[in-house]
Amino acid sequence: RRDLEHSHTIQVSSLLPSSICSLATKVLDKKSSLQVVHKHGPCSQLYHHDKANIPTHAEILLQDVARVKSIHSKLAKSLGSTKVDQTDAANIPAKDGSVVGSGNYVVTVGLGTPKKDLTLIFDTGSDITWTQCQPCVGTCYKQQDPVFAPSLSSTYSNISCNSTTCNSLASATGNTPGCSSSACVYGIQYGDSSFSVGIFAKEKLTLTSTDVFDDFLFGCGQNNQGLFGGAAGLIGLGRDKLSLPSQTASKYRKYFSYCLPSSSSSTGFLSFGYGGVSKFVKFTTLTTISQGTSFYGIDIVGISVGGKKLPISASLFTAGGSIIDSGTVITRLPPTAYTALSSEFRKLMSQYPKAQPLSILDTCYDFTKFSSVSVPMISIFFRGGVEVPIAAKGILYVNTISQVCLAFAGNNDDTD
Amino acid sequence: VGIFGNTQQKTLQVVYDGVGGKLGFATGGCS
């Protein structure tokens, strides 16, 4: 009985995404809502443009490892120690993976006058919004949308390098800004050597037809490298004062929400302001991580598997703290917590044949002989008595039906 | 740090209240 009450019954055929996009039915406050799609799914234009270069799941998970390393590294060292010149980035080798190239979600916004639509990765784990710009003075990668041309926009202007706005880049990017012909030069690097360098500028940003922001500060990237999967750049939704929520605070009060779709063949939304928020929402307190104040810190205090709370102390989670990040694919737990989670999960999944590990995922199953499977429910508990039941599609990471894995992983150390 | 990643956020409505210092979750957020 406990199994029935505390498990998801999943049709195995539903585990793989469709090759056809199905639009979500949710109608939000459309005035301030953008459609969210997975970068590599059939709902994304990028998918149709560049099917041949879609990464494998193993590659996506490796990129996810790079992103997590980058986050840990950022939290481990002080910021603002590296000065960036526009020419420097040309000498930085980009490896065959990119932190922002991992399993990420994209939205389309408009920039400039007349407005040009750009598909950008949305990322709560970074702050600066940037897009590739013409002219490309270093390396630029292939993108789906036409590259933004500031010279064709009547509302574009550079930020001066002697301004306080320019100096504020240090906290937002972790790099001291540079100067080129009086223009402020920004540089942001994403830990695995992918980067964007260019002119810091302001421009009209059109989120929706009714939500338009003049003088939005963004990076006009003239030297960009990494596997960005055809996206034109990135929207930084972090907590720094240069992030999009901070720059639009007068209208939205730093209030935004999103829903990531259940699969890459369906859509979600990114919405700004109070409109469309569920009345059933449960809130926990945001915390601040002292070494990385732009991250959204949260307090995880417990986990349950199959309705049973794991016997781990809340202090185990608070030793290293936790953040929420839209750009990290797999939730990372303190290793002691992960061991307890996977051990209980394995116990409740013992009727299914095991499969080979997939990269960082070590608890995998072969469902080829089953038409439906029963998977234990998992809930995460946050400070303030907030229980968040994870959707069935959030418990499993599916490579193929013969390799379906528990979608959690452990950090290296409980104090990470 | 631990990280609450995007696979686990699927179908939840995740609400950021930067001024109020709160983070919210609602199930069934996409449909």
Q: What is the pLDDT along chain A (416 residues), one digit of tens a residue?
A: 556 789 999 999 999 989 899 876 555 556 789 999 998 889 988 887 777 778 899 988 988 888 888 888 778 764 344 444 444 333 333 332 334 455 589 999 999 999 999 999 989 999 999 999 999 999 999 999 999 999 999 999 999 999 999 999 999 998 999 999 999 999 998 755 678 999 999 999 999 999 999 999 999 999 998 867 789 999 999 999 999 999 999 999 999 999 999 998 999 999 999 988 999 999 999 999 988 899 999 999 999 999 999 999 999 998 889 999 998 999 999 999 999 999 999 999 999 999 999 999 999 999 999 999 999 999 999 999 999 999 999 999 999 999 999 999 999 888 76
Residue A1: per-residue pLDDT: 55
Answer yes or no: are the C-beta atoms of A317 and A301 closer than 8 Å.
Answer: yes
CA distance B19 to chain A (A): 6
Backbone angles phi, psi at A225, to 5 degrees: -145, 145
- Residue A347 burial (CB count, 10 A): 12
> Hey, of A43, A63, A247, A281, which one would you mutate to test binding to chain B, going by the most B CBs within 10 A of its CB?
A281
Chain A, chain B: beta-carbon pairs less than 8 Å apart: 193
A313 vs chain B: nearest CA distance in angstroms? 15
The tens-digit pLDDT sequence of chain B (31 residues) is: 899 999 999 999 999 999 999 999 999 888 7
Set of chain A residues whose Cβ sits within 8 Å of the Cβ of B19: 249, 253-255
Query: Of A127, A211, A299, A325, which one is the catalytic site residue?
Result: A325
Put simply, the answer to whether A389 touches B21 (Cβ < 8 Å) is no
Q: How many CB atoms are located within 10 Å of the residue A27 CB?
A: 9
Task: Let me know: does A128 contact A189? Beta carbons within 8 Å.
Answer: no
Q: Is A10 helix (H, G, I), strand (E, B) or coil?
A: strand
Buried residues in A66-81 as b, exposed as e (16+ CB within 10 A): bbbebbbebbeeebee
Contacts of B11 in chain A (CB under 8 A): 259-262, 391, 393-394
* 3-class state of residue A73 by DSSP: helix
Chain B hits for A257, CB-CB cut-off 8 Å, are 13-16, 24, 29
Q: What single string gives the DSSP state of each residue in A331-389?
A: EEE-HHHHHHHHHHHHHHTTTS-EE--BTTB--EE--TT-SEEEEE-EEEEETTTEEEE
User: pLDDT digits over A126-142, tens only?
Assistant: 999 999 999 999 999 99
Find residues 1-31 of chain B whose CB sits inside 8 Å of chain A.
1-31
Task: Give yes or no for a contact between A14 and B20, defined as CB atoms under 8 angstroms apart.
Answer: no
A324 to B24: CB separation less than 8 angstroms, yes or no:
no
Contact (CB<8Å) A324/B8: no
Complex ipTM: 0.95
Phi/psi of residue A331, nearest 5 degrees: -65, 130
CB within 8 Å of A143: residues ≥ 6 apart: A132, A228, A230, A231, A232
d(CA A344, CA A372): 21
Chain A hits for B4, CB-CB cut-off 8 Å, are 298, 300, 322-325, 331, 380
Flag if B1 and A289 touch (Cβ within 8 Å): yes
- Chain B residues with CB-CB distance to A317 below 8 A: 2
- Classify the C-alpha dihedral A376-A380-A381-A387 as positive or negative: negative
The shortest C-alpha distance from B13 to chain A (Å) reads: 5
CA distances from A383 to A90, A141, A298, A303, A387 (A): 45, 42, 8, 12, 9
Binary contact (A281, B19; C-beta < 8 A): no
Q: B29 to chain A, minimum CA–CA distance in Å?
A: 6
Asked if the Cβ–Cβ distance from B10 to A416 is below 8 Å, we say: no
Amino acid in position A16? L
The radius of gyration of chain B from alpha carbons, rounded to an integer in Å, stands at 11
Flag if B10 and A278 touch (Cβ within 8 Å).
no
Indicate if A325 belongs to the active site. Answer: yes
pLDDT of residue A78: 42
Check if the beta carbon of residue A161 is closer than 8 Å to that of residue A184: yes
Q: Do B8 and A416 touch (CB under 8 A)?
A: no
Cβ pair A118, A205 in contact under 8 A: no
List the one residue out of A230, A231, A233 whose CA is nearest residue A244: A233
Two structure tokens written together for A358: 């997939």
Asked whether A7 and A376 are in contact (CB, 8 A), the reply is: yes
Q: Find the CB nearest B11 among A25, A259, A277.
A: A259
Nearest CA distance, A255 vs chain B (angstrom): 5
**Residue closest to A153 by CA, chosen among A192, A106, A202:** A202
The residue type found at A22 is: S
Distance CA A413, CA B4 (A): 16
Q: For chain B, count helices (H), then strands (E).
A: 1, 3
User: CB neighbours of A397 closer than 8 A, spacing ≥ 6?
Assistant: A57, A61, A329, A330, A358, A361, A404, A405, A406, A407, B7
Q: What are the tokens at A153?
A: 């926009």
Q: Which of A94, A282, A318 is nearest to A189 (CA)?
A: A94
What is the SS3 assignment for A294? coil
Chain A residues whose beta carbon lies within 8 Å of the beta carbon of residue B28? 278
